Structure 1
Amino acid sequence: MIQRYTSWNKLLRKALWWLVIIGMLCSLPLVYTRYETETSAKQVEFVFDYRDLLDIADLQTSPQDFVKKQLVAMKEAGIGSLAVYEATLSELRQSRLIEMYNSREAVALTQTIGLPNENFTYILFSDAQARLQLQPLIEKTFADLQVRTRPWSFKNQAGLIIEMIMDEASLKPMDPDPITLSMLKEQGFQIVVRLSNRRAFVPNQMDALLKHLYSFGVKKIIVDGDSVPGYTEEDTSENLDKMAELLHKYGMGLAAIEMLKQPQKGFNTLAKETNFDVVRLHSYMERDGEKLMENLKKEELEQRIQAAADRLVLAVKDRNIRMVFLNAKPLKSLDRAAIVNPLNALYASLNGKDGAIPRIEKAGFTTGQAEAFLVKESSWQKVARFFILVGSVSLITLLISYFFPQVALLVFVIGLVGAVGLHTLSGSLYAQGLALGAAISAPSIAVMLAIRSVIQGKAARWRSGIAFALLQIIKTSAISMIGVVYVIVLLNQITYFLVLEQFRGVGLLHLLPIAIVAIYLLLFSDDSTYTQKLQKLKAILSSNIRVLWLVLVGIAVAAGYYYLSRTGNEGQAPAFEKLFRSFLENTLGVRPRIKEFLFAHPLFFLGAYLSIRYKHAVYLMLIGVIGQLSIVDTFAHLHTPMAISGIRISYGIIFGIIVGLVMIAVWEIVVRSWKRWAPQFKG
């Protein structure tokens, strides 16, 4: 039995690489469908928050004239859409469509004696048209809240009394203001509507609302608040199904706001029920606009305008953003003794010198109503799944076999059975589990093979260290790309493109390959027996600790902490590095990762060059695993187009080689100078 297992195990080990390569080749058609999906939507929509415009206008001497002027300026700047919220009495007041008073103010206005036990809301309509369109809307809203309303007038101006305190009544949401909708449509703007879950979900009322919005050409809904319309903490599926049905009925989709602290409740369910008619939205917040209103010199303001433009271009080009939502607010400036706003600076960032919109159009996009990605599928997909499963399990097995070759067959069988079982339990866990395994295995194997070529003396046979280094970095990067292919095809779903679902385990991807390759180098890179490996480990653990070792460990821990702090979306970069990043982005179009081309790839290249003469140079090659895992991690950012990721890693390798050549030149100068001058110092 053991002999049969051994023979099968030996046969499998020879076949593992072939299974990995076959799985990868069978995956390539699916990689192409991913590319087709990513390039299926090229329109970018710039949306301004109309409520913010009203806030700014409210502090102007001629609010309505200011709004008209800014709408023209927005059109000229390339803003084609306005976001309209569910109306409130407060917003209607800002629009100068109504005036609003509490009971005391109404008494003062009418010069009558008020009732001491009354604290109601009094409103007056600006004109007959406002009354005609708004009175039914207001009466229905408060009737639904079981709040009584009754007619009121002052000096032949019609109004209403709402039996609710003004502070509360002014917050109650109602259908979007029809007068504003008509005005914006006449001005030639597309309208994006923000709907909340602050009102009770009544299907026939929502149907009427969406039908009304459809008549104004509304195509996208942005959820306002922390939950979608129809969501409840109890049984929400029926409401969400109905909401999705209504959105589909009127051809409306959703916008997914990126980088929210908490996902909007019910959003993923609603997105799924609408067949992922969803676009990604990037918000330029009020606090971002504040940076454009500070008391700055002209050069400093231009730099910040340029930074805003860079940010918007990067969002569209690198993160599949198809809707840019612009916010602004007024600010009291003590330095200028004036009320200021960022609108002109914001327009300059869009269509001024090196503005975002011309650069976005130059990159192949157009401005217009945002459209959802058209998900492409391949008939080959069902067949490819089998080869993807076998190939990814083979890749993981291959990694383990470099440490424990005797268990390869056992690991392979357990891996296949476990993966099938995991798929039955959860398709998402299956895909993410295998993708993470492939992402960790590929760069680990790649660097381990490079290290083994040095340990086994293959490097010493080369005459040219540069030729050997070039071969190693190209071969190592190619093996790492195998992991990239498996990550792409295993997570080839629209939910990852839209970041409705995220690839978990990125922290492990940044740490495990380093640990795996380090263990391999220390204990498994030679042909010693397990007993000898154990003795070597004991010798390392029982070694006398020296101060130098403690210093080196401290440096390593600090470097590791800094390395981890820089990974992911939460990582922070110092100001000088941000400037360098911006320079690279604007110069190259796609910014290579600094840790790749200035650190990991050059040190790997230098280590490979030196390894033809010094075996211990292999420890420099160990650092190269950071660059290789970064290659895989770049493609694990699934909301970034593959073409962008491909350019990014290509730049990283090319510039990494150039920096590596510079390091080699410096090394040779130092070594030759030392050989020349050191004997003189000894004398």
Structure 2
Amino acid sequence: MVKQKWLWLVVVALLIISIPGLVNRWNVETSSNNYEIIIPYDEILHVAENSELSVDTVLSRLKEAGLTTVSIEPSSLEELEEQGVLAVYDEYELKSLLLFSPFKDEFDGKKGLYVSIPEDPDFRDFLKDVIQPDEIVIGDVPFYFLPKNNGNYYIDTPIGYNVAAIEKINSHGLMHIFRAKNDEEHVNENIVDQLVSFKNENVSGILGIGEEMIGYGLSVEDKNIHHQIVKRLKDAGYYYYSIDGDNKKQRGEEVFAKATDYDIIRLISMDINKESKLNVPEGVDRSIRAIKERNIKSFFWHIREKGNAEENLDETIRYITDVQAKMEKTAPHFTPGAPILFDKISVPSWVTALVLLSGIIFTYIMSELVRSQILRLLATGFMVLLAGAYFVLDRLLFIQAFALVIACITPIYAVIKASNGSTKIRNILVQYVKAVGISLIGIAIVIGLLNGNGFISGYEAFRGVKLVYIVPIAGIALFVLLNWTNIGSGGLKTGIKQTGLLLDKEIKFWHLLVAVIVAAVGMFYMMRTGNFGPVSGLELKLRQLIEDILYVRPRTKEFLIGFPLFVLALYVMGIHRKLGMIFLIPGVIGFLSIVNTFTHLHIPIGISLLRTFYSVVLGFVVGLVFILIYKVLSHYYAKAKRYMETP
């Protein structure tokens, strides 16, 4: 016992010494407090084209509401025609127009695109430089001509960014970002040339279009070209936007992220045209939650396309103003403006080494659950191998595996170590605090190891989230089973014999019924893990209410299920140990869940701490209520039993 106390002191001391790594993360996360709202320029044009408002009026109203940024996509000839910059005709259209003119005989009918020459000299130079058209004259009207089989540019091929639109946006005091998609090599090269030349203080970000980053390819040659594009954009001073959500990252985006040491802005996209349930209040709540809980600093809002254009503009303005109003009320430290890139999180190698050492000792302590000293040494040796492999091979996978082992075992050890039943609230509180403390030590090891810009930006992650939900429950279930059946209490041979007797028992119908119920509950539990499980409308409203009051919402599975049932388990075990142990199985959910909270490394560490604090405190209070309910039910059960036994 004395030896183990010293080991605990060493673990805690090592973690305290390694605190600078986590302090660096805290400082980096809290120093990036700007957010921006982005609206696409083509949707602004759509409003102007379908209303009595000019583009300048729309931009002015959006700016007054609080819009910070406008996104611009590269335009094709077709889109420049829609914007009124030029006109495009094919040979059939032009022949029809010339049919009743004196110049019809001068038209030779060559197949291709006939482009009217723009009035703006900048556009003329731009078109000649990019698409390199032939210049022809029909009658006294000059045209640019692109042969049909020119092999490079067609009516819908992106040719570049509208300089006039950029100047118009900037004249209203708005920032802009460029959007770019992967296309043919010559198109990509042209777009990258423009991106480099257009870089100034008003633009720093690039947001991708489609599933692939510009320049992405699978062949060796394509990969080389992609790396060259990434280098040019990086050297020009651009950062990249990463769209939040499952399967939203572009292929090739990670190459840019790593090349820039994760100079990435996380963005949430909300398209009211595609999401039937999305409205302004939901969009506002989603935006506030994103910046508070997921390090997201950019909100991309799409203007509604159907219906009255001016009403759709008013709806967008309402979203912008409501975001700012609610932000000032609930999270005033966040302010509108250009998003600030995270500073670099510095984690010295000696800090990582200390955390790994604390994890190795912590593993040895936790392995006391296994009575075999050989198995304890093997478990500890395995962790030593993982730590050594990380330093020798410099592969992140080894440190992720190390963290996964700690995360899976910590909740099991915390619950078992604190499973000393008592009917006294003071004793229950002591055991509760002990279990929480053990969990926090495991958490400190996990987040101490998985620390850096790659993790907070979401490109690197804790691996094995589902295992953290399954292994602890299975471990506690096994612990309860062993205690109920006394398997293993008499040594290996006795344990094997008892296991054989247990397996030889007759299965009854109620056994199958219980198995079906457990399986159903398990499936529901797994469906509810993560961020995308089914949630009722009423639950969503309750969640939002709690969030508005507490700043961040504690997890339901922690403060209403896991922690209260663990408290109840300790109380019932003080009366009937075997009966109370059943409640340890759902009780471990609270502890595995707080470990899981911190493994979502893109969530600010301060938010995870606050959420866990709420869960621990509220969970204990709810647990006391569960004890009271248990007492009442036990009283009436005993009373009913005496009544039934009375002759």
TM-score in terms of structure 1 length: 0.86
- Tell me how far apart the structure 1 counterparts of residues 30 and 182 of structure 2 sit (CA, whole Å): 33
Change (3 A) 1:329 1:150: farther
- Tell me how far apart the structure 1 counterparts of residues 81 and 190 of structure 2 sit (CA, whole Å): 25
Shift of 1:384: 2.4
- Tell me how far apart the structure 2 counterparts of residues 413 and 670 of structure 1 sit (CA, whole Å): 49
Structure 1 window deviating more from structure 2 (482-491 vs 251-260): it is: 251-260
Q: Is the 8 A contact 1:98 1:124 kept in 2?
A: yes
What do the CA deviations read for 1:88-112 (whole angstroms, capped 9, x no partner)?
1222122222223332222233335
1:510 aligns with 2:469: yes
The residue aligned with 2:298 is: 323
- Tell me how far apart the structure 2 counterparts of residues 345 and 291 of structure 1 sit (CA, whole Å): 15
1:163 aligns with 2:147: yes
The AA in structure 2 aligned to 1:106 is L
The residue aligned with 2:16 is: 25
- Tell me how far apart the structure 2 counterparts of residues 322 and 11 of structure 1 sit (CA, whole Å): 50
The residue aligned with 1:467 is: 426
Alignment of 1:375-386 (within 5 A): 375-377=344-346, 381-386=348-353
The residue aligned with 1:365 is: 334
Q: Is the 8 A contact 2:563 2:623 kept in 1?
A: yes
What do the CA deviations read for 1:290-331 (whole angstroms, capped 9, x no partner)?
556xxxxxxxxxxx4222110000111100001111223412
From 316, 325, 328, the equivalent of 1:346 is 316
- Tell me how far apart the structure 1 counterparts of residues 139 and 79 of structure 2 sit (CA, whole Å): 22
- Tell me how far apart the structure 2 counterparts of residues 353 and 496 of structure 1 sit (CA, whole Å): 27
- Tell me how far apart the structure 2 counterparts of residues 448 and 410 of structure 1 sit (CA, whole Å): 21
The residue aligned with 1:662 is: 625
From 579, 582, 595, the equivalent of 2:541 is 579
The residue aligned with 2:598 is: 635
- Tell me how far apart the structure 1 counterparts of residues 184 and 311 of structure 2 sit (CA, whole Å): 33
Q: Is the 8 A contact 1:331 1:340 kept in 2?
A: no
What do the CA deviations read for 1:60-107 (whole angstroms, capped 9, x no partner)?
154xx3422221221122111100111212221222222233322222
From 569, 574, 597, the equivalent of 1:612 is 574
The AA in structure 1 aligned to 2:245 is M
The residue aligned with 2:271 is: 285
Q: Is the 8 A contact 2:196 2:232 kept in 1?
A: no
Change (3 A) 1:664 1:154: farther
- Tell me how far apart the structure 1 counterparts of residues 187 and 632 of structure 2 sit (CA, whole Å): 79
> 3-state DSSP class of the match of 1:501?
coil
- Tell me how far apart the structure 2 counterparts of residues 675 and 73 of structure 1 sit (CA, whole Å): 72
Change (3 A) 1:319 1:562: same
The residue aligned with 1:177 is: 162
Alignment of 1:544-555 (within 5 A): 544-555=506-517
- Tell me how far apart the structure 2 counterparts of residues 315 and 288 of structure 1 sit (CA, whole Å): 20
Shift of 1:444: 1.1
> 3-state DSSP class of the match of 1:169?
coil
Tell me the matched-pair count.
635
> 3-state DSSP class of the match of 2:273?
helix
The AA in structure 2 aligned to 1:317 is K
> 3-state DSSP class of the match of 2:159?
coil
Q: Is the 8 A contact 2:72 2:161 kept in 1?
A: yes
- Tell me how far apart the structure 2 counterparts of residues 243 and 402 of structure 1 sit (CA, whole Å): 54
From 195, 207, 221, the equivalent of 1:210 is 195
Q: Is the 8 A contact 1:603 1:660 kept in 2?
A: yes
Change (3 A) 1:675 1:276: closer
Q: Is the 8 A contact 2:400 2:462 kept in 1?
A: yes
The residue aligned with 1:80 is: 68
- Tell me how far apart the structure 2 counterparts of residues 282 and 269 of structure 1 sit (CA, whole Å): 21
What do the CA deviations read for 1:366-407 (whole angstroms, capped 9, x no partner)?
1111121001325xx322222222222233343333124322
Q: Is the 8 A contact 1:240 1:270 kept in 2?
A: no
- Tell me how far apart the structure 1 counterparts of residues 497 and 5 of structure 2 sit (CA, whole Å): 30
Unaligned runs of 5+ in 1: 1-9, 293-303, 333-337
The AA in structure 2 aligned to 1:48 is I
- Tell me how far apart the structure 2 counterparts of residues 317 and 262 of structure 1 sit (CA, whole Å): 20
Shift of 1:352: 3.3
Change (3 A) 1:289 1:119: farther
- Tell me how far apart the structure 1 counterparts of residues 216 and 640 of structure 2 sit (CA, whole Å): 78
Change (3 A) 1:153 1:656: farther
From 578, 581, 587, the equivalent of 1:624 is 587
1:193 aligns with 2:155: no
- Tell me how far apart the structure 2 counterparts of residues 517 and 614 of structure 1 sit (CA, whole Å): 18
The AA in structure 2 aligned to 1:513 is P
Shift of 1:43: 1.1
The AA in structure 1 aligned to 2:185 is A
1:603 aligns with 2:565: yes
Shift of 1:565: 1.1
- Tell me how far apart the structure 2 counterparts of residues 226 and 377 of structure 1 sit (CA, whole Å): 32
- Tell me how far apart the structure 1 counterparts of residues 78 and 7 of structure 2 sit (CA, whole Å): 68
Shift of 1:254: 1.3
The residue aligned with 1:46 is: 37
Shift of 1:153: 6.5
- Tell me how far apart the structure 2 counterparts of residues 289 and 521 of structure 1 sit (CA, whole Å): 46
> 3-state DSSP class of the match of 1:128?
coil
> 3-state DSSP class of the match of 1:72?
helix
Q: CA RMSD in A?
A: 3.0
> 3-state DSSP class of the match of 2:341?
coil
Structure 1 window deviating more from structure 2 (565-574 vs 592-601): it is: 565-574
The residue aligned with 2:525 is: 563
The residue aligned with 1:335 is: none
Shift of 1:519: 1.4
- Tell me how far apart the structure 2 counterparts of residues 100 and 342 of structure 1 sit (CA, whole Å): 30
The AA in structure 1 aligned to 2:242 is A
Q: Is the 8 A contact 2:135 2:145 kept in 1?
A: yes
Structure 1 window deviating more from structure 2 (576-585 vs 112-121): it is: 112-121
- Tell me how far apart the structure 2 counterparts of residues 422 and 638 of structure 1 sit (CA, whole Å): 20
The residue aligned with 2:99 is: 111
The residue aligned with 1:267 is: 253
Shift of 1:216: 6.3
- Tell me how far apart the structure 1 counterparts of residues 450 and 575 of structure 2 sit (CA, whole Å): 43
The residue aligned with 1:428 is: 396
- Tell me how far apart the structure 1 counterparts of residues 188 and 585 of structure 2 sit (CA, whole Å): 61
> 3-state DSSP class of the match of 1:218?
coil
What do the CA deviations read for 1:186-235 (whole angstroms, capped 9, x no partner)?
11110111122314269986675234312462111112233333333223
From 399, 404, 411, the equivalent of 2:366 is 399
- Tell me how far apart the structure 2 counterparts of residues 643 and 593 of structure 1 sit (CA, whole Å): 15
The residue aligned with 2:504 is: 542
Q: Is the 8 A contact 1:225 1:264 kept in 2?
A: yes
> 3-state DSSP class of the match of 2:36?
strand
Q: Is the 8 A contact 2:95 2:109 kept in 1?
A: no
> 3-state DSSP class of the match of 2:418?
helix
- Tell me how far apart the structure 2 counterparts of residues 647 and 152 of structure 1 sit (CA, whole Å): 72
The residue aligned with 1:374 is: 343
Shift of 1:140: 3.0
> 3-state DSSP class of the match of 1:608?
helix
- Tell me how far apart the structure 1 counterparts of residues 191 and 611 of structure 2 sit (CA, whole Å): 46
- Tell me how far apart the structure 2 counterparts of residues 538 and 204 of structure 1 sit (CA, whole Å): 71
Shift of 1:47: 1.0
The AA in structure 2 aligned to 1:633 is N
The AA in structure 1 aligned to 2:498 is K
Q: Is the 8 A contact 1:55 1:94 kept in 2?
A: no
Unaligned runs of 5+ in 2: none
Aligned-pair identity (%): 25
Q: Is the 8 A contact 1:203 1:242 kept in 2?
A: no
- Tell me how far apart the structure 1 counterparts of residues 36 and 148 of structure 2 sit (CA, whole Å): 40
- Tell me how far apart the structure 1 counterparts of residues 303 and 329 of structure 2 sit (CA, whole Å): 23
